[in-house]
Amino acid sequence: MKAILGIDVGGSGIKGAIVNCSSGKLLSERIRIATPNPSDPENISNTIAELVKNLSYKGPVGVGFPAVVKQGTVYTAANIDKSFIGINYEEYLGKKLGLPVRVINDADAAGLAEIKFGAGKDVNGLVILITIGTGIGSVLVNKGKLIPNTELGHIFLSENREAERYASDAVRKNENLDWITWAERINEYLMYLENLFWPDLFIIGGGVSKHYKEFFPYFTLRTPLVPAQLLNNAGIIGAALAAKKLG
């Protein structure tokens, strides 16, 4: 067993727990601290340091982060301060904590967890996890290998129809769409991805996934499709998995 602290940085809260990386079970309480405002590198790092202290933890730290992250460097900033862009946050946070740190995209972290312990376990092929909430996030895993930092929610289904602005859960709520009408939009989006990638499995995550029985029956996909299983703990578990090689 390897016990590693996983942290999930979100726009409203920073959550963390120590994870058994062999079973995916949480070994500590799940701590949540409100995301500071402004959500700049110093404030976010101080909040993470507080979380680490509360858990009396010393060891590798995995962080799921709402941004495109390449070799530790942040390239975008969704729901965090733009001052993160261009910073190698693995190095920055590692110096702050005095601990080895691995930072990956937050959706990718959730995808790692679902592949290892959740709905994608033992699928020997291409799995696409789509997280549907305020926006649309995406994760591609092929034969257990993560293809990082995909942004398939920003694909245009036609000249003026970006998927995220056409079929997210926020759009469903803002336009007061019934489940059938909204399902038709998601089905159109998933069919588009299906014809591009020919996946072996779709996993639907995000807040809307708990209502999957309301809209799954209206899909006309050839690809098997299942709801995510790990819910709010997926990002924490996947972040810990990403840091396994550090310790």
Residue 165: is its pLDDT beyond 80? yes
Q: Measured between alpha carbons, how far is 133 from 192 in angstroms, rounded to an integer?
A: 19
One domain for residues 222 and 238: no
Domain that includes residue 186, residue range: 121-229
Query: With the C-alpha atoms ordered 12, 18, 20, 21, is the resulting torsion angle positive or negative?
Result: positive
Query: What pLDDT score was predicted for residue 10?
Result: 86
Dump the DSSP string for 35-104: PPSS--HHHHHHHHHHHHHHTT--S-EEEEESS-EETTEE---SSS-GGGTT-BHHHHHHHHHTS-EEEE
One domain for residues 104 and 148: no
Phi, psi of 86 (to 5 degrees): 95, -10
One domain for residues 72 and 94: yes
Query: What pLDDT score was predicted for residue 1?
Result: 67
CATH number at residue 153: 3.30.420.40
Query: What pLDDT score was predicted for residue 48?
Result: 98
User: Considering the chain, what is the average pLDDT of its residues?
Assistant: 94
Q: Model confidence over 194-225: pLDDT tens digits? A: 999 999 999 998 888 889 999 999 999 999 99
One domain for residues 134 and 183: yes
One domain for residues 130 and 95: no
- Residue 28: partners with Cβ closer than 8 Å, 6 or more residues away: 17, 18, 55
Q: Model confidence over 94-152: pLDDT tens digits? A: 999 999 999 999 999 999 999 999 999 989 899 999 989 888 989 999 998 899 999 99
One domain for residues 104 and 138: no
Query: What pLDDT score was predicted for residue 2?
Result: 87
Query: What pLDDT score was predicted for residue 210?
Result: 87
Per DSSP, the three-state class of 146 is strand
Query: What pLDDT score was predicted for residue 247?
Result: 61
Q: Give the predicted TM-score (pTM) of the model.
A: 0.87
Q: Model confidence over 53-107: pLDDT tens digits? A: 999 999 999 999 999 999 999 999 877 999 999 999 999 999 999 999 999 999 9
By the 8 A CB rule, do 213 and 227 touch?
Answer: no
Count of domains for the chain: 2
One domain for residues 139 and 218: yes
Residue 116 lies in a domain: no
Residue with tokens 């920073």: 14
One domain for residues 85 and 156: no
Query: What pLDDT score was predicted for residue 207?
Result: 80
Q: How far is CA 198 from CA 102, 106, 114, 228, in A?
A: 31, 24, 20, 20
Burial of 199 (0-12, 13-18, 19+ CB in 10 A): buried
